[in-house]
Amino acid sequence: MDLYLIHRPRGDFKGSWKMMEELYKEGKIKAIGISNFTPAQYKDLMSVAKIKPAVNQIETHAFFHEMDSYNDLKKNGVQMEAWAPFAEGRNGLFTNQTLADIGKKHNKTNAQVSLRWHYQRGVVAIPRTVQKAHMVENLNIFDFKLSPAEMKAIAALDLNTSQFPEWT
Ligand SMILES: NC(=O)c1ccc[n+]([C@@H]2O[C@H](COP(=O)([O-])OP(=O)(O)OC[C@H]3O[C@@H](n4cnc5c(N)ncnc54)[C@H](OP(=O)(O)O)[C@@H]3O)[C@@H](O)[C@H]2O)c1
């Protein structure tokens, strides 16, 4: 297995981590990581962990920048990975005017501007699509660059709250 994650820090997640460390040492899993851990929960895990998580997969998109986690993961050298990198289209992400204005300058869609923003922040995004055209579109983000002013405009979209309150 390439990468195995603890989905949420519930139950005996420290025990789970110890087992995952064993599987990692045995070479059965190439990388182990976590998901939906806050900085405090990450710190708690690290009080027993021998191996640092490769990634922490958390909700992150143009409307939720997760700056506390972003800074904490960067400081600790853990890769931040975005689930719902498009907020699953919530809050009108695919028609958002700020993203559309930026996209117009580069001849790109809101989806592509979003993914390029993740990429320039150093965040790994795992967009989901069942459409081939969208897969092609989502891969086509390496021929343009967002300017500092455009990154700043997207920074202003941060609502600092989840788009999925039903899951918290
Ligand atoms: N760790 C966790 O707790 C957690 C929680 C939720 C999700 N995830 C994972 O995160 C990954 C990301 O998926 P997600 O479901 O969260 O949402 P997402 O990637 O933010 O959004 C998926 C939606 O975007 C649409 N889409 C994709 N590309 C598009 C494009 N270029 N233009 C317009 N629409 C586009 C898709 O529709 P089409 O199919 O029609 O393109 C789909 O409805 C998944 O692998 C999922 O398993 C993890």
* pTM as predicted: 0.96
Residue of the CA atom closest to atom 30 of ligand 1: 134
Enumerate the domain spans of the chain.
Answer: 1-52, 54-168
pLDDT at 168 over 80: no
Confidence bin at 104 (pLDDT 50/70/90): very high
- For 114-144, how does the pLDDT look when each residue is reduced to its tens digit (9 = 90+)? 999 999 999 999 999 999 999 999 999 999 9
Contacts of 103-111 with C-beta under 8 Å, sequence gap 24+, read 105/150, 106/144, 108/141, 108/144, 109/137, 111/86, 111/137, 111/138
Kindly report the CATH number that applies to the domain delimited by 54-168: 3.20.20.100
Stretch 139-153: mean pLDDT, rounded?
98
Q: How many angstroms does the Cα of residue 18 sit away from the middle of ligand 1?
A: 30
